[in-house]
Structures are given as C-alpha cells and as structure tokens.
C-alpha cells in the first residue's frame, strides 16, 4: 500500500496549488463586492495602465459554476500534463496560455471585459493534443473534445471565444516547443 501512495505523492503539486489559488480568489471576490473582480478582470481599454490583468483575469471567475467547470478541467488536464512535462514547464505552459488568451481577447473585443481560466484551460487542451500526438497516441477524441468546446463557445452567449482560441493556440505552441526540445 505504501508503495502505491509513494508513486503518486508528487503528482500535480502545481495543478493543486493553482486550483487552491483560484478558489481563494473567488472567495475574495465573493466577499469584496466587485472590488477584487475590478482589480483582476481584463478590460482592454485599461490594459496599458493595468497590464497585470492579462494574467490575473485567469484567476477570477464570474460564478461558482464557472469556477467549478474550469477547476475540474484544470484538475483533469493539468495533472496529466504536469506529470508529463514537469512542474516548471507546466506552470509556464499554463501562464502563457492565459496570456495568449488575454492577448487574443484584447485584439478581438477591445471594449469587452473578461474573467476566467478558460484561456489557460484551452491551452491545456491544445497542449494535451500536441503531447498525445508527439507520443504516438491516437488523438482524435481530444480533437473532437476541442472542436465541441470551440463550437459551444461560438453559440453560447457571454463566452469570450477569442480567449479560448488564443489560449488554445498558445498552449499548443508551447507544447509543440516542448516536444521538439525533448526530441
């Protein structure tokens, strides 16, 4: 029994930490009215005076369900990718995916407002697809999952599809870089 526990002891440390940070930020949002959300949300007209929001937007959420869906996805994809590429590379991958999603949102919706980890989550989905392909695994199911999520983003109101696509592209690009370096 202890051997089984030891084999999983270090799994997903950064993933679990990111989930914890997101939950704590949401609790701060819920108890502060709109003060914390206003500080962290991405609002393109203010991005030059508040550049940190390009990253902090990925830690703020609009509702409990928004938080729960993103954190479930982070747990599923994050732990797998973190164990594959390592903690430091995983953290860079995730943060660059959020940044890629934010930049795409700023370019596509210059007067919008965005919160949520979805750019980072889509980055993880793109990375998962690239890593699966590089390892020689079938990736058609992952491609279908990505396609369904992109379509849902286009047909559902209030979803920043540009952030999803920007995160997907950034995460895929970072994962591709990692797989090329590994070869």
Strand partners, 42: 114
Catalytic pick from 84, 97, 102, 118?
Answer: 118
Left, alpha or beta for 136 (phi > 0: left; psi -120 to 50: alpha)? Answer: left
Note if 118 is an active site residue: yes
- Counting every residue written for the chain, the total comes to 183
For CA atoms 59, 128, 144, 54, the dihedral sign is positive
In this structure, what token pair is assigned to residue 105?
Answer: 């949102």
Helix (H, G, I), strand (E, B) or coil at 114: strand
Is position 61 annotated as part of the catalytic site? no
Catalytic (active-site) positions:
118, 164
């Amino acid at each position: 029994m202890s051997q089984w526990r030891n084999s999983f002891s270090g799994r997903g440390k950064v993933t679990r930490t990111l989930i914890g940070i997101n939950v704590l930020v949401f609790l701060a949002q819920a108890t502060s009215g709109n003060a914390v959300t206003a500080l962290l949300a991405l609002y393109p007209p203010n991005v030059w005076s508040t550049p940190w929001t390009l990253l902090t937007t990925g830690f703020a959420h609009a509702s409990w369900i928004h938080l729960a869906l993103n954190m479930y996805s982070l747990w599923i994809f994050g732990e797998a990718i973190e164990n594959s590429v390592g903690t430091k590379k995983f953290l860079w991958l995730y943060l660059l995916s959020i940044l890629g999603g934010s930049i795409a949102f700023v370019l596509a919706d210059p007067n919008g407002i965005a919160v949520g980890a979805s750019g980072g989550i889509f980055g993880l989905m793109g990375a998962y697809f690239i890593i699966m392909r590089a390892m020689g695994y079938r990736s058609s199911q992952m491609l279908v999952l990505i396609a369904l999520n992109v379509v849902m983003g286009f047909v559902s109101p209030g979803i920043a599809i540009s952030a999803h696509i920007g995160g997907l592209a950034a995460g895929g690009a970072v994962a591709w870089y990692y797989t090329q370096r590994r070869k």
